[in-house]
Chains A and B, each alone.
Chain A
Amino acid sequence: MSALVEQRAMEATAVKATGRARLKWARILRSPTAMVGLFLVGFWVVAAILAPVLPLYSPTEQDVMALADPTPSAAHWLGVDILGRDELSRLIFGARTVLVVAPLSVAVAMIVGITLGMIAGCYGGWIDAVISRLSDIILAFPVLVLYVILIANIGPSIINIVIATTIASAPGIGRITRGLVLGLKEQEYIAAARLRAESTLYIMLVELLPNCRGMLIVDACLRIGYTIITIGILGFLGLGLPPPNPDWGGMVKESTTVLNVWPLMSVLPSIAIVSLVLGFNLLADGLREAWKP
């Protein structure tokens, strides 16, 4: 046994000895990055869920009086926007939109991408070639350009954002899944499954998928973060969800016209986006560290 292997084994036992009995999920509790990420994401999730019961203004209600001084005040803790709507309320209700649309889009993209990647990896041959070439074509496209062209033509709506995300992300997810499957396919337990007449579908779902889980969850976290950014950008470009839905990107866009006077109006929704994306990115990083084999 080589020294490096032995050393690794020792180090692994040092970690494993206590972690063994515990759940895989419990390991993230020891990762400070993951905990900070979890806190940031958790903050927005809780705020979004509680939004209707919190003592907030309506996000669409205009307080014309407040427009005289839209900076934070006792009535409006974070001030109002250019139309006199409460900034805090719009931020929290904006979280609702983004926290539904981004995970939903990524979930659909994951399903499509994992399916394609599994099929390409398991069957190989011309099926793999066709799927891989198609993915290459889409991946050669700058993602945002793809979004802009798609959304500008099919119009902004939740469904269309889901469709655009799927088209833009599924090839990447497929490629990751395919890579994982190619690595796992040669494992002896897959051969053992083939020798007991298991169907390919069974091998995909029961033997392969659970072993790809960790990597795919990490990837999903990163993609949710990225999709939130994309939704923000679309909003900023004026391709966001149609008003009066509060949309963080749209809020930044509306207030850039008065950036010179009231920068806070643009800075606050920007901070909101950054904090949520940072949360997902930290979570992904923490999970990757915690689940490292």
Chain B
Amino acid sequence: MTMVAETISTNGERASETPLLAVQDLRIEFRGKAETIVAVPKLSFEVKPGESFGLVGESGCGKSTTAMAIMGYLGATGVVAGGSIRFEGEELVNAPAHKLRAIRGRRIAMVYQDPMSALNPVKTIGAQLAEVPMLHLGASRVEALDRAAAMLKDVRLPDAGDMLKRYPHQLSGGQQQRVVIAMALLGRPSLLLLDEPTTGLDVTVESAVIDLIGELRRRYGTSLLFISHNLGLIAESCDRVGIMYSGELVEEAPTRELFGRPRHPYTQGLIDCIPDIGQGKHSRTLAAIPGHIPLPSERPRGCLFGPRCAGFRAGLCDRPGMSLEPVGERHVVRCVRWPELEVARRELPPLSGESAAPAAAITVSDITKFYHLGYQKTLKANEAVSFEAGKAEIVALVGESGCGKSTLARIVTGLDRATSGEIRMAGENIAAIEASARPKPLLQSIQMVFQNPDSTLNPSHSAGFSIRRSLKKFGIRKGKAAIDQRMRELLEMVRLSPDFAARRPSQLSGGQKQRIAIARAFASDPSLIVADEPVSALDVSVQAAVVTLLLDIQKTRHATMLFISHDLALVRHVADKVVVMYLGKVMEKGTVEEIFGGATHPYTEALISAIRSTKPEGAERKRVTLTGDTPSPVDVPRGCRFASRCHRKLGSICDREPPPIRRMSATHEIACHIPVEALETPRHQDEARDRS
């Protein structure tokens, strides 16, 4: 590690503080059989004692790889090819195995993305937790278990003694993540690496976990390296933030400074393309960053963000060897044009609002779907769900996992059959007709955009295959030439060049695959589009582009859309009407203004409150933290479905009786025992009571 360090200009200012972790000119390579991929070309950053440092970036930017390099765990092919990682003054790169073992779990611990898979399925929680004190603190088994139990109390898991005897699969996702956090803290580490610790958890659970991490950090004085793609989370949990793009740090600053005055065009783009919960559909369009993240093997010369940047200047931005330049106190940015670009920051034009009450295109009434799981076990996926969508309207179905929104989507499209209830479309009840029994015109009129870009296209066929097939099957065009012509038009519609049709899905990025899926859905000229979490698997910078595209096409085609999402901010931006679901039942429905206005269902209130904003002032909003987890849909509460977690529960009536429907207005309904007047004055103050 004899490289001459490129001095970072900000180093001088904080020479007085010795960093806890200092990463200097780190270069990480993956050496495959055929080729070497440089995951991280040259990365430098520091984490100071007691500090919380956030590393933000999209998939493939190298942030998690960096975390693994710190832990000395890069797999069989990963190599640290240069630079240094110093932890408390000790060099970790090429450190001997015994030294690494002494540091891992003891002085640096880690919390992982998917807690279920991070825990060994065949060992009890107690056995897995006790390993840490036994390994590092010389504790006996009994002592170790005592410590584990105490730590489980600290992460607020109920009944610690019983929890120790359980297996991971008997815990909910939120509980599992608390166990992983407890495991990390048992060694009393001075640095905690959090690798997307809440991705995959429901928003209300995520909220509680983040609060817990913040609290534990204060109590134990642990430094954090917080890795996430979620800007909102980082904004709230970190003191300082580094933005990574394609393996490089492009900007670094204290949190407030960074989100208040972002200097790098990529940072600005990232912030702009996140829908803001504070603003509604017609306030502005989502700013999408064009293009996609370059593959490590296809990095451009000079500024890596150059090809996607509106301010790109040839001859200036494509010169190699760009360095981080200081722009203010402890604020550095890797952009040669930042002073000019700052002035040029765009104001986003508002969307022209238009609203009329159109005729109903689809009416869903009392849809119920039960799955019989065997002896006296019934999964209640949907129960008495009703709503309607007007022509060219966008109705959003919102809720966390297990709320039944996707089941409903499958019933509408005919991939599944309702147990009872009606779905009327053009006068016909389609609730019980499966796709195979639906007449062609009906199939043609309802199409779907799916969630997972990796499974939406058949890997054995070209990208254009299913579009072509749809055109042919529904007789939209006749003859090979006409079909090909139409397919090219559809590809253009989703802003892809026609030669994409011949590519294999494995050669496309997630965003490109989702575009193809949208083109396929619109190929049959449907009047209703069901979009089931169409962008949730995509990177944020790509999300905005795909949503905008979907909305554009929906608008020009006058198609009705059922937009299914767990992301309230996105829904607020997209939808005309919102249906909030919880455990198979509708909690609240109304226009987007009504849902995000004042009077809401306590669950909606909790959902909205769980959204973390990058706006510094957003942090001052009152927070509702829900306790516990969503009950199983097999064993639903008897009264109000939400009663077990509600922060505004009135009393036993909520457990006993299903709530009445409160009509707030002609379009706004809330299913709650709380009287109308009380609903109109949400009492955020109550939150303290519920944080047991």
Residues of A within 8 A of B (CB): 1-3, 5-7, 9-11, 13-20, 30, 187-189, 191-198, 200, 206-207, 210-211, 213
Contacts and interface: CB of A to CB of B under 8 A. Distances in A.
Contacts of A213: 460
B450 A192 contact: yes
Given A187-B455, A195-B415, A7 B37 contact: no
B30 A14 contact: yes
B67 A17 contact: no
A213 B459 CA distance: 12
B34 A15 contact: yes
Nearest to A8: B75
Interface in B449-507: 450-452, 455-461, 466, 469-470, 473-474, 506-507
B505 to A, nearest CB: 9
12 contacts: A3-B112, A5-B64, A10-B39, A11-B75, A13-B296, A14-B33, A19-B34, A192-B450, A192-B466, A195-B446, A195-B448, A198-B473
Contacts of A211: 458-460
A194 B443 CA distance: 9
State the 3 A-B residue pairs at the shortest beta-carbon distance, nearest first: A14-B32, A3-B64, A210-B460
A17 B455 contact: no
B435 A195 contact: yes
B117 to A, nearest CB: 9
Contacts of A16: 506
B452 A188 contact: yes
Given A20-B507, A192-B456, A195-B443, A10 B59 contact: no
B7 interface: no
A18 B35 contact: yes
Contacts of B413: 191, 195
A188 B78 contact: no
Nearest to B524: A196
Interface of B: 30-37, 39, 58-60, 62-65, 67-68, 74-75, 77-78, 112-114, 195-196, 199, 229, 295-297, 413-415, 435-436, 438, 440, 443, 446-448, 450-452, 455-461, 466, 469-470, 473-474, 506-507, 517, 520, 524
B64 A6 contact: yes
B35 A6 contact: no
B470 A196 contact: yes
A200 B435 CA distance: 12
Given A14-B30, A188-B451, A196-B474, A6 B65 contact: yes
A195 B64 contact: no
A9 B506 CA distance: 12
Given A11-B77, A195-B448, A196-B474, A2 B195 contact: yes
Contacts of B438: 197
Given A17-B35, A188-B452, 4 more contacts: A10-B78, A192-B520, A194-B435, A195-B415
Given A2-B112, A189-B458, A196-B470, A10 B35 contact: no
Contacts of B64: 1-3, 5-7
Nearest to B460: A210
Contact of B30 (A11, A19, A191, A195): A11
Contacts of B436: 194, 197, 200
Given A191-B450, A195-B413, A207-B458, A6 B60 contact: yes
Nearest to A14: B32
A7 B195 contact: no
B35 A189 contact: no
A194 B469 CA distance: 12
A206 B468 CA distance: 14
A94 B455 CA distance: 47
Query: Which of A5, A13, A193 has most B Cβ within 10 Å?
Result: A13
A27 to B, nearest CB: 10
Nearest to A206: B461
A7 B68 contact: yes
A7 B469 CA distance: 36
Contacts of A5: 64
Contacts of A7: 30, 64-65, 68, 74-75, 78
Contact of B473 (A11, A30, A191, A197): A197
B34 A17 contact: yes
Contact of A188 (B74, B113, B455): B455
Contacts of A195: 413-415, 435, 443, 446-448
Contacts of B506: 16, 20
A259 to B, nearest CB: 46
Given A196-B443, A196-B473, A10 B448 contact: no
B229 A13 contact: no
A196 B469 contact: yes
A200 B37 CA distance: 43
A5 B537 CA distance: 14
Given A1-B59, A196-B443, A14 B31 contact: yes
Nearest to A188: B450
A14 B456 contact: no
Nearest to B57: A1
B443 A197 contact: yes
A198 B524 CA distance: 14
A2 B413 CA distance: 33
A197 B469 CA distance: 10
A10 B451 contact: no
Contact of B466 (A1, A9, A193, A210): A193
A203 to B, nearest CB: 10
A10 B415 contact: no
A148 to B, nearest CB: 41
Contacts of A192: 448, 450, 456, 466, 517, 520
B196 A1 contact: yes
Contacts of A189: 455-458, 466
A19 to B, nearest CB: 7
Given A197-B435, A197-B443, A14 B34 contact: yes
B297 A17 contact: yes
Contacts of A15: 32-35
Nearest to B112: A2
A3 B73 CA distance: 10
Given A10-B37, A191-B448, A1 B459 contact: no
A253 B415 CA distance: 60
Query: Which of A2, A6, A10, A197 has most B Cβ within 10 Å?
Result: A10
A191 B521 CA distance: 12
A7 to B, nearest CB: 5
B33 A30 contact: yes
B68 A3 contact: yes
B460 to A, nearest CB: 4
A14 B450 CA distance: 29
Given A192-B520, A207-B458, A14 B67 contact: no
A30 B35 CA distance: 13
Contacts of A187: 455, 458
B227 to A, nearest CB: 8
Nearest to B474: A196
A11 B37 CA distance: 8
Contact of A14 (B37, B229, B455, B460): B37
Contacts of A207: 458, 460
Contacts of B60: 1, 6, 9-10
A11 B524 CA distance: 39
Contacts of B67: 3
Contacts of A20: 506-507
A193 B435 CA distance: 10
Contacts of A200: 436
A207 B465 CA distance: 11
A23 B60 CA distance: 26
Contacts of B75: 7, 11
A2 B443 contact: no
Given A10-B30, A17-B297, A18-B34, A2 B113 contact: yes
Contact of A3 (B195, B447, B455): B195
A74 B520 CA distance: 71
Nearest to B118: A2
A7 B63 CA distance: 11
